Structure 1
Amino acid sequence: MNTTTHSIGRTVAHESARAQIAGAAPYIDDLPELRGTLYAAPILSTVAHGKINEIHTAAALALHGVVAIVLASDVPGDPILAAFAGDEPVFARDTVQHIGQVIGLVVATDVMLARRAARLVKLDITPLPAILTVPDALASESYVLPPVTVARGDSDAALARAPHTLKGTLEVGGQEHFYLEGQIAYALPQEQNQWLIYSSSQHPGEVQHWVAHALGLDNHAVRVECRRLGGGFGGKETQAGHLAVWAAVAAAKVKRPVKLRLDRDDDFLITGKRHPFSYQYTVGFDDTGRLCGLQLMMAAHCGFSADLSGPVADRAIFHADNAYYLQDVAITSYRLKLHTQSHTAFRGFGGPQGMIVTETILGDIARQLGLDPLAVRLRNLYSDEPLNPAEPGLRRDTTHYGMQVEGNILQPLLSTLEQSSQYQKRIEAISAWNEQHQTLKRGIALTPVKFGISFTATLFNQAGALVHVYLDGSVQMNHGGVEMGQGLNTKVAQIVADELGVPLHKVLATASDTSKIPNASATAASAGTDLNGRAAQFAARHVRDNLAAFVGGLDGVGAGAVTFQGGQVFTPKTTRTFDAVVQLAYANRIQLWSDGFYRTPKIHYDKTTLSGRPFYYFAYGAACTEVALDTLTGENKVIRVDILHDVGRSINPGLDVGQIEGGFVQGMGWLTTEELVWNDKGLLTTHAPSTYKIPTAGDIPAHFKVDLWDAPNTEDNVGGSKAVGEPPFMLAISVFEALRDAVARARDDGAVVQLNAPATPEKLLKALTQVR
């Protein structure tokens, strides 16, 4: 590919980077406000579970500037949110289900006044029994959705004949999204009962549906626009819809525009997190560490309503194998209802919670057998090795849910990283270091990732786009995806530019808008570029084909003989500028705009049995991480990271490396410092930066090397690329495993390491002294 005339494959700057650095990229709170705009603040439950007796609003209403109190009785349409489970009210009505549940809003002329007034509302609530722990939820069968079991083979028999067995438990905490731009919505009444909603949402189409449902309107009466997000990570997939509905209901009552922006503390208390998980397992294995059988119980802490817990827990089942073949396996998944915030999507969408337990198991098997954990991991990888020499047609290449692992590069990728990271040499160096140092101990781990790409709900794997070519040859494109810092608009612009053969600067991306692309799927599941990029490519191709047919007619050649490149249009007879061709085409009434539509091929699965092909392809990667651990304090530091990650044929290598680095660091935070703590009353006590610790620049290792695996996607994906948003997050499991390795080396007793995540200093100290 000639990179001087093509955009795909080049590192080009994010389309908003300069504006963002200069503070000139507007977010919703930066938009000019219409005259008469009011501000809302939430009234929050102070009880984890209770019956609402009375809401005393007199003190709040007495403040000058307070315009209204909005409660459940003020919802014009359905008082239940339009979520698929139908189990969450717009505002709490008769009961409250968690501390921080929104009971209503105060609407005032000033945002700080609204917040002060909300705290003056007195709530008379009779406490009811609250379920706050996993054992209590399991014992009382408190579920938001029924349990699910997926099995293959005979796990009981496999465990009975296994040379070795191991039982264990694991607790993995949740994670706060901590987007820099908090949850926000701005609702503006329009003429004839129409609405314009500015929403910081990963799913404008769902916001449109939810707002219309709550206002009792048809969807066409509600337009939702979003130019960019200041971070989402899944936290704005469904739960941005709450803000939009609340603001719209308030605006409908006061008949004026209403903005609702949560402050950071309220955002923590109201919104859901990554799902915490609890596990119990029994695993059988042979002398080489190869798995013989596995029985695994996963308990997802879902909070008080279903939200996206069903598909999150399903994906945890799908990714419980990570990169490894599971022959005889039984996985049971419980979706537990607790009286806490309703947990929601987060980068990886259950995949991290599925992978980490298996990586933990393999690490413990290695320690039990006195083997190198990498050797055990390599022993269990998916491969084309026959299950039985007598039956060569049956191979170790099919997942426990029935999907063949195609395009498998796990073995060469891990071997390449093992060599480039000098893994074996460093193990020797670490052993020598640990012998010489009594307090500081080092550990290392190399772990793989195999992550399925597609929405598990098949219907979401579709996208639309519009491409408009103007008379001066400039191009405007619009698609249903949302730009949230990941570079989606930049990549799609690169695709459109190459399809039309024009310089990248000629292509402009516009805001996500439900009046342009209807029924768009969420920007999630790492599928933003796969879906919207292909749809935009098809839209541009339609325009290009129109122009090619026109120019071919002018020169008496077939349309296939016309090429577009570098802002020029070539035929065997002549060369014209793209701009000139556009003007000629317009004068001859040739259509210069088009739509494009794409639906992901090949995918299918039975959601009742969780079997089939839920993913179009797999993205692969591996990380080698080295850590240092202070055995007296539990303080630890990541000192070296080497990553080799598969993005197919990269559309924009610079953006992809940035996503890999960011995903890894966010995953590192999940597994080390980001600890969510609820007290025995159900109050989230870590609800501010003072008590909740995300990674900082000081946590980045001095050696942080990212390489891209150089091979195109074997599936016909746009540009030969692969998704990059979520898969790198799981590379950070290598940090957790490296810390467990450091603990094991410090103890030097050959025992498995009981360490729950996040691996805080306190938990590491406990693991250093715990006897199993």
Structure 2
Amino acid sequence: MRKLPDTRPAHSLISGRAGSATRHESAHKHVSGDALYVDDIPEPAGMLYGYVGLSSIAHATLKQMNLDAVRTAPGVMDVVTAKDLPALTDIGPVFPGDHLLAEGKVNFHGQVLFAVAATSQDAARRAARLADVKYEAQQADLTLESALAQEHFVRPTHTQRRGDADTAIATAPNRLSGHFKIGGQEQMYLEGQIALSIPGEDGSMLVHSSTQHPAETQKLVAEVLGLPMSLVTVTVRRMGGAFGGKETNANQWACLSALLARRTGRPVKLRLARADDMTTTGKRHPFHSDYEVGFDDEGRILGLNLKLSGNCGHSPDLSDAIVDRAMFHADNCYFLPAARIIGNRVKTHTASNTAFRGFGGPQGMLAIEQIIENIAQATGQDALDIRQRNFYGPDGRNVTHYGQTIEQHIIAPLVARLTKTSEYRQRREAVRAFNSENAILKRGLALTPVKFGISFTVQHLNQAGALLHVYTDGSIQLNHGGTEMGQGLYTKVAQVVASEFGVDLSSITCTATRTDKVPNTSPTAASSGSDLNGMAARDAARKIRQRLTEFAAEKFAVPAESIQFANDHVSLGAQRITFAELVQQAYLGRISLSATGYYRTPKIHYDRANASGRPFFYYAYGAACSEVLIDTLTGENRVLRVDICQDVGQSLNPVLDIGQIEGGFIQGMGWLTTEELVWNEQGRLLTNNPASYKIPTIGDTPPVFNVELMPDSPNTEATIFHSKAVGEPPLMLGISVWAALRDAVASIGEHRTAPLLDAPATPERILAACDQVRAARGERQ
């Protein structure tokens, strides 16, 4: 396609430094189609196409797998099964249980049985369907209820305690108990799972993978092939979305692609079709919440017993850490004087559930928010008042149930600000008036807070590296361990480097994340991409700047402390030269213009045996106020208005941060309203494409959508330029939509009955909740 000339005004091509509203470095490429993803890489000569054969049963012994028809199908060059694997067969990222290819039995509908390489994508897919497989079916646990009843777990149960919850509940003036179901969610990235492997000299392998964790992909490919890691290079320029679904789930396709490339001696690309992608990969964990809570007449929580049971699927994957994070966030913003939080890791015969934006935190928060809503119903008070009375604060109400002290008391003033700017109190009265005058249509309003801990809860993952080159023309090449999945990480880290050197962003080139440039990296996850990689890049930049400063001080006979880097120039007392001129002279003076940078997060620790510690470096806060309208005869609903205030500290890039907040909110809203996963009685996923699985569309965007970054709220911790993470926290703002829908339903019974509204709050569930409240109202009358 003919490329049009770039007609943008010159000033739009010049980007600012950290803190400025700079556009995404690939925004114009995304729009024009010039952004290269794995499937856009020019195909190497002789490339083959990989595909996989999948199990058609949820739990069974493999009695026979006849692949003769697969091997003789047109275009097929190779077929591999578990017995053909040269080395590692289990690619579980933390604990074993994730077999690269099924061995002897299958554990979920859609498990990979074999892989095929053929001369075209179509030939590979057609051949993969020709297998003749005989199964001996076994009893399958397909629901969380059945597996939990039998105590089938992928990992041991973990418990966090504070005080004597049983006594606190027993002696409380008021008590409630209940059960709440929280659905899962498909990541629904635009770019599906894909890998391209190219064999090289000495058995080496270059893997282009759409992965959030290149270092882990490198390690597993090496172990599957029986190679040292130094012979495997994984590279990632960008992903078309990931949301956690490519943190571990990308590994299988990279390993199979590399295995087929190793066996055939030819490049192999393995790209999953959408229906197969959704069938065979993990999703957000569905959870069940069972609780008993004691509270006073003002609605203050005195004691809480909460059991969180996560549906992990057939293997551990990352479920231990995910259920832990749900437990860590079971308080959200609320002080729990006495609490016992139990986390079950339940095993079912479904695809192994995995990371998803929030990593368990959303499920823990939704559980406590449902409890808050029920307390408000029981006491006849506004739920916002109950929330504010339970907030963390100074004077002995500042320690979590896992022992971390809350040091920045931001949520109370943030919610107070949003209450005012969203006109919550006035709108509450307007909603009451509307509902009193309308029998069919009802409005709902809710303001919910978010406190999200920032750090990997696995301590060793809190580290990052960077590699920085300054060339003799003054241009800069930046590489770090973070991956770009559309969130703007490359832009933010480049802004950090631009700030350190005082140069324009246009002089900095961010190159693809590669394991041969920065080794042993952590996944881009846990909202820590900018925190970790920004600090590592700054460390590298400061090393080079220090060398340049010392060189300039000696050469130009000026005090080092007087030398300033700004506006693409370097001030040397009375003299001023360009940054490029100084770099050229430093090169002639034999000064190293390359550096590695490194950072590890301080302060964090967690004693699992005692269930106590400081698992998070800091917390990111936010709140959202949502207003909805429901039809009580059909359950149909829409969001009318949303107001958000998010604490991002000293923003690295306000435009990117607001974009993340808007996108995260909509994704969270989808999780809690339209995105329903459905399996049949045989364990087959029925919602395996966009026709049956409904994510929000542009038409679902609230017509009034106000987003504000909390002003004058710099992070008191020494993060990169005192910013705060923004990737995951906004997703949980979507809880306000669920709470508003529940509020609308409750208005049918004048808020005297607590609606039973599990998540997602689909029209069917809303209608059922309306009928439940109507029935309760009738009984009262």
TM-score, normalising length: structure 1: 0.97
Contact 1:465 1:596 in 2 (8 A): yes
2:212 to 202, 212, 225: 202
Contact 2:380 2:751 in 1 (8 A): no
Residue in 2 aligned with 1:336? 346
Q: Following the alignment from structure 1 to structure 2, what is the Cα–Cα distance between the partners of residues 100 and 117?
A: 16
In the TM superposition, 1:365-444 aligns within 5 A as 365-385=375-395, 395-444=396-445
1:515 counterpart SS class: coil
Q: Following the alignment from structure 2 to structure 1, what is the Cα–Cα distance between the partners of residues 51 and 477?
A: 38
AA at the equivalent of 1:747: G
How far is 1:555 from its partner?
2.4
How far is 1:83 from its partner?
2.1
Distance 1:749 1:398, change over 3 A: closer
AA at the equivalent of 1:109: T
Which residues of structure 2 form unaligned runs of 5+? 1-11, 777-781
User: 1:287-330 deviations in whole A, cap 9, x for unaligned?
Assistant: 00000110011110000000000000000000000000011101
Q: Following the alignment from structure 1 to structure 2, what is the Cα–Cα distance between the partners of residues 309 and 60?
A: 35
Residue in 2 aligned with 1:565? 566
In the TM superposition, 1:89-168 aligns within 5 A as 89-168=99-178
Contact 2:92 2:99 in 1 (8 A): no
User: 1:674-726 deviations in whole A, cap 9, x for unaligned?
Assistant: 00011111111110111000000000011000000122111011111000000
Residue in 2 aligned with 1:391? none
Q: Verify: 1:301 aligned to 2:333, yes or no.
A: no
Q: Following the alignment from structure 2 to structure 1, what is the Cα–Cα distance between the partners of residues 686 and 608?
A: 37
Q: Verify: 1:658 aligned to 2:668, yes or no.
A: no
1:669 counterpart SS class: helix
Q: Following the alignment from structure 1 to structure 2, what is the Cα–Cα distance between the partners of residues 133 and 80?
A: 25
Contact 1:675 1:758 in 2 (8 A): yes
Alignment length, in residue pairs? 761
AA at the equivalent of 2:563: V
Q: Verify: 1:270 aligned to 2:271, yes or no.
A: no
AA at the equivalent of 2:748: A
Residue in 1 aligned with 2:36? 26
Q: Following the alignment from structure 2 to structure 1, what is the Cα–Cα distance between the partners of residues 316 and 15?
A: 49
1:231 counterpart SS class: coil
Q: Verify: 1:462 aligned to 2:463, yes or no.
A: yes
Q: Following the alignment from structure 2 to structure 1, what is the Cα–Cα distance between the partners of residues 332 and 377?
A: 20
How far is 1:62 from its partner?
2.6
Contact 2:15 2:506 in 1 (8 A): no
AA at the equivalent of 1:448: P
Q: Following the alignment from structure 1 to structure 2, what is the Cα–Cα distance between the partners of residues 29 and 240?
A: 15
How far is 1:36 from its partner?
1.2
In the TM superposition, 1:523-562 aligns within 5 A as 523-562=524-563
Contact 2:161 2:611 in 1 (8 A): no
Residue in 2 aligned with 1:724? 726
Contact 1:549 1:558 in 2 (8 A): no
1:258 to 256, 268, 288: 268
1:737 counterpart SS class: helix
How far is 1:31 from its partner?
0.3
In the TM superposition, 1:588-599 aligns within 5 A as 588-599=589-600
How far is 1:138 from its partner?
1.8
Q: Following the alignment from structure 2 to structure 1, what is the Cα–Cα distance between the partners of residues 15 and 353?
A: 46
2:752 to 733, 738, 750: 750
Q: Following the alignment from structure 1 to structure 2, what is the Cα–Cα distance between the partners of residues 433 and 482?
A: 48
In the TM superposition, 1:565-644 aligns within 5 A as 565-644=566-645
Residue in 2 aligned with 1:694? 695
Q: Following the alignment from structure 1 to structure 2, what is the Cα–Cα distance between the partners of residues 691 and 56?
A: 33
Residue in 2 aligned with 1:739? 741
In the TM superposition, 1:676-715 aligns within 5 A as 676-710=677-711, 711-715=713-717
Contact 1:204 1:520 in 2 (8 A): yes
| Percent identity over paired residues | 52
1:90 counterpart SS class: coil
AA at the equivalent of 1:203: H
Contact 2:92 2:317 in 1 (8 A): no
Question: Which range moved further: 685-694 or 113-122?
Answer: 113-122
TM-score, normalising length: structure 2: 0.96
In the TM superposition, 1:353-372 aligns within 5 A as 353-372=363-382
Question: Which range moved further: 161-170 or 56-65?
Answer: 56-65
AA at the equivalent of 1:41: Y
How far is 1:749 from its partner?
5.5
Q: Following the alignment from structure 2 to structure 1, what is the Cα–Cα distance between the partners of residues 263 and 103?
A: 18
2:768 counterpart SS class: helix
Q: Verify: 1:180 aligned to 2:190, yes or no.
A: yes
Q: Following the alignment from structure 2 to structure 1, what is the Cα–Cα distance between the partners of residues 248 and 309?
A: 22
1:302 counterpart SS class: strand
Question: Which range moved further: 215-224 or 659-668?
Answer: 215-224
AA at the equivalent of 1:193: G
Contact 1:502 1:566 in 2 (8 A): yes
- When the two chains are superposed, the root-mean-square deviation of aligned CA atoms in Å is 1.2
How far is 1:69 from its partner?
1.5
Residue in 1 aligned with 2:323? 313
1:628 counterpart SS class: strand
AA at the equivalent of 1:520: T
User: 1:21-64 deviations in whole A, cap 9, x for unaligned?
Assistant: 11011100000111111111110000100000111212222322
1:125 counterpart SS class: strand
Q: Following the alignment from structure 1 to structure 2, what is the Cα–Cα distance between the partners of residues 540 and 334?
A: 45
